[in-house]
Amino acid sequence: MIKPHGSDELNPLFVYDVEQRHALVAEAETLPSILLNSAAAANAVMMGGGYFNPLTGYMNLADALSVAEKMHTVDGLFFPVPVVNMTNEGGVEAGSRIALRDPNVEGNPVLAVMDVEAVEAVSDEQINYMAEKIFRTLDENHPGVATFSGLGRTLLSGPIQVLNFSYFQADFPDTFRTAVEIRNEIAEHGWEKVVAFQTRNPMHRAHEELCRMAMEQLNADGVLIHMLLGKLKPGDIPAEVRDASIRKMVEVYFPPNTVMVTGYGFDMLYAGPREAVLHAVFRQNCGCTHLIVGRDHAGVGDYYGGFDAQTIFDEEVPDDALELEIFSADHTAYSKKLNKVVMMRDVPDHTNDDFVLLSGTAVREMLGKGIAPPPEFSRPEVAKILSDYYQLQDS
């Protein structure tokens, strides 16, 4: 199986030894604590699950600035985005041991225990520098910029031990999986070549066919459909609705034992190209050999060019940084001429009138009125689930 990023073996920071974990839970109740923001909590969950391998904890300021600027730490580890714990809480001292409390679970239970190596003030200039490098903009209307700029001005760095996976296991027991669990399942299937598909949205016909195209062209053994289960911007479809619609599509339209439907506990960054590279790190750590990167991958609004998330791998990611390979995809749509979904670059003789093209707004309006989008755009079983959701929102 493909090696994880940065090490020979995956090193999740979740404490799997039951006795040790119980002892840490008891110790945590005696420690000073801080309430994490959702971004820092998601980082802890991802480190716990092995997705951020080979990190051992939150980055210090020098590493965060270096990663933002050059996509590698001061010591040279390739990493596409800073993994930080920024806060506005005071009173934490370097050399202390603290409990990190979960902002997303009632009662704010302890999520992890941290050995604080450094406590550093972050200036507005440094925040802006990192934000511009990560998101390619400082526009506060960009949801990622707005979130990052509001995380706090004190950066706590050091190793952590993760005690649970926040709300993700309880809320999504059939879907949430750690990188460790996905690697194990891939091994159980006996898959060697695995294509990953990242999504924060329900999957329409074009997405479905894109997975099928990638699997066929790469002669892959299986597809990992990997959905984000954490926080999204207002207006995005909730995880439980996406989960139900994706599972129905796979159940009806894919052969058995060719697709794994899973999810991971992270908040969406909307960082476009940088987030596409982060997604590649996640999937290599899961054991996937390829990641589908399509048009405007991880984008929002018009902040990124349609294929910036592909060109970053050619122009900015060193050749030896990742073992995983990218499957670059064009915009896909149903061809009325050919009666199938195609990549638009593959049919230069087509005009826009030859495709079934619908905007997201138009689709949402149709679903809200109980009108099913055309079957060339969305499978009827999927449309039914989405229609029920939108009509509830409008009622």
Integer CA distances (angstroms), 185 to 104, 169, 220, 260, 344, in order: 28, 17, 16, 9, 34
- Positions annotated as catalytic residues are 200-201
**Through-space distance between the first and last CA atoms of the chain, rounded to whole angstroms:** 49
Rounded CA separation 67/301 (Å)? 25
The whole-angstrom separation of Cα 375 and Cα 368 is 17
Structure tokens at 194: 């695995």
Token pair recorded at residue 380: 């009827």
Give the whole-angstrom CA distance, residue 130 versus residue 82: 8
d(CA 111, CA 161): 9
**C-beta separation of 16 from 164 below 8 A:** no
Q: Find all residues with CB under 8 Å of 9, minimum gap 6, and list them.
A: none
Burial class (CB in 10 A: 0-12, 13-18, 19+), 128: middle
Alpha carbons 357 and 337: distance in angstroms, whole number: 14
Residue 259 pairs in a beta bridge with 223
